Chain A
């Protein structure tokens, strides 16, 4: 049981480049989400999904795109990277009720130069 798997662990992008952060879970969780963590800011919700084909925006969605074609996968796309998107990104999943807390991936440190 791998839990939540995020790839890559580290990435450096040039301004304007695009890329996709991958997230996969094997726990049959309905709920999946993406957070970004910036120094002194805690974690902030970017996008989330409550099931295949359903996505919605969180607190800081601008510049990011998501889709959920399967229960297991929830990729995060940066359309045109900007230095302000330099951050650590976490994928998290849970059952729909969320009452047992979320399981987090190990994070992706992204630097945009």
Chain B
């Protein structure tokens, strides 16, 4: 079974600063995906960024980027030029790929509550 650990229950930074959220995972699988989801106070789960384990290049989506270290089983999220609207819970998630192409469900970490201060 996989486990996902987010060691920072809460973080607070000033608007426009850069912040990094940590995530580590434990798996014996080689073929998997990693995701960061954002959950604002509206409760909606929003996909922020995804990373394929076999790709060494780190994923980037506008102000969001990841530092994927496969050997260390680490998958941190960097938010640049943080904005008030980034205030939310952030969840790291792991998904195993099957050799036949299908996938398992998501295994989530417990989340990091990120607060952007004006």
Contact A97-B103, Cβ < 8 Å, known A42-B111, A88-B43, A106-B43: yes
For the complex, give the distance between the alpha carbons of A48 and B95 in Å. Answer: 14
For the complex, give the distance between the alpha carbons of A40 and B113 in Å. Answer: 11
Partner of B110, one of A42, A88, A109: A42
The number of residue pairs between A and B whose CB atoms lie closer than 8 Å in the complex comes to 64
CB pair B45 A90 closer than 8 Å? yes
Smallest Cβ-Cβ distance to A99: which chain B residue: B33
Encoded as 1 (CB less than 8 Å from any A CB) or 0, chain B from 30 to 73 comes to 00010101000011110100101000000000000000000000
Residue B108 interfacial (CB < 8 Å)? yes
For the complex, give the distance between the alpha carbons of A100 and B51 in Å. Answer: 10
CB pair A44 B97 closer than 8 Å? no
Q: Residues of A contacting B111 with CB < 8 Å?
A: 42
Q: How large is the interface on A (under 10, 10 to 19, 20 to 34, 35 or more residues)?
A: 20 to 34
CB pair A43 B103 closer than 8 Å? no
Residue A50 interfacial (CB < 8 Å)? yes
Residue B102 interfacial (CB < 8 Å)? yes
CB pair A50 B102 closer than 8 Å? yes
Residue B85 interfacial (CB < 8 Å)? no
Residue B91 interfacial (CB < 8 Å)? yes
CB pair B52 A42 closer than 8 Å? no
Minimal beta-carbon separation of B6 from chain A (angstroms): 8
Q: Which of B37, B43, B97 has the most CB of A within 10 A?
A: B43
Encoded as 1 (CB less than 8 Å from any B CB) or 0, chain A from 84 to 97 comes to 00001010101011
CB pair B101 A33 closer than 8 Å? no
Partner of B91, one of A43, A99, A100, A109: A43
Q: Residues of A contacting B104 with CB < 8 Å?
A: 98
Encoded as 1 (CB less than 8 Å from any A CB) or 0, chain B from 90 to 118 comes to 01000101000111111111110000000
Q: Which B residues are closer than 8 A to A by beta carbons?
A: 4, 33, 35, 37, 42-45, 47, 50, 52, 91, 95, 97, 101-111
Q: Which A residues are closer than 8 A to B by beta carbons?
A: 31, 33, 35, 40-45, 48, 50, 58, 88, 90, 92, 94, 96-104, 106-107, 109
